[in-house]
Amino acid sequence: MNHEVFAALGEALKNGEDVALVTIVRANGSTPQRVGAKMLVFADGRVVGTIGGGCYENDALWKAREVLETRKATTVRYELADDFAEETGLICGGQMDVFVEPIEPSPALYIFGAGHVGLYLGRLAHEAGFEIHIVDDREKFANRERFPDACEIVVDEIPVWLGRTTLPASAYVVIVTRGHRNDLDAMRALTPRRLRYLGLIGSRAKVKRIYDALIEEGTVVPEHLARVNAPIGLDIGAVTPQEIAVSILAELIAVRRGRASAVAGASLRWMPALDAVPSRP
């Protein structure tokens, strides 16, 4: 049975899907499955494999879906002779420990803007295990010489490219273009989409101007803007492009590892240092 699980896991990673792997890591007494039995759970509830059936498997399925949200592994103990098991008639008289872990492919990071901040972020994020995609309309900046490790470099108008491109829901997206108009174009196309992370660089005042413009246009609703992390990055007092890239990557890692929410909520979080960065050539 586990070969089906491993085959499905390989296919999920190939397709860029996040999954949770449920494994029996300890079994005492009489249990319906042995140590090593596995079940793969997808975000939409699909399941491959089994750890024995019954309501404890159903409980493990829901634990797996929680783990996909929190990004934190957990171990669950089941007493198969207690009332929990009796409800389903599975009186096995044993105990099981089940380990539930999130498994994700190398996360795709789309960097809109190949200027100074985008350059250093691309370098650092690649080393941290992100799959880098660069999008900019300037070949002078978006090229293989500057981004040798990027898996994709797009030279095109941002709204044009986004108009014909679907990004996966698991994607991390960073908007660090060279100016207000380009940021506005990217935000207009990206804020309605479901993404793992969406961040916008800029001062508090600049972010507010973009939000006000989008609301006035009627192209997005406040609920969409509430999903944006802006101003982007952890507040570490960053000033230089290199430091700002570090602050952005730190936030991306925190979201990836379940240590921070990908939803900004009250999204005008102010990083004072970014007030000194009116443009990013």
pLDDT digits (tens, 9 = 90+) for 143-154: 999 999 999 999
- Least confidently predicted of 29-38, 135-144, 172-181, 237-246: 29-38
Contact 125, 249 (CB under 8 A): yes
- pLDDT score, position 270: 33
| pTM for this predicted structure | 0.74
% of the chain surpassing 90 pLDDT: 63
Q: Which domains does the chain have, with CATH numbers?
A: 2-103 (no CATH), 108-276 (3.40.50.720)
- Least confidently predicted of 45-49, 85-89, 146-150, 262-266: 262-266
pLDDT in tens, 184-213: 999 999 999 999 999 999 989 999 999 999
Contact 174, 248 (CB under 8 A): yes
Determine the length of the chain: 281
pLDDT in tens, 76-134: 998 876 545 555 555 556 788 999 999 988 899 999 999 999 999 999 999 999 999 99
- pLDDT score, position 82: 53
Contact 58, 134 (CB under 8 A): no
CA–CA separation, 270 vs 208, rounded Å?
11
Look at residue 162 and tell me whether its pLDDT is greater than 70: yes
CA–CA separation, 106 vs 150, rounded Å?
13
Across the chain, mean pLDDT equals 86
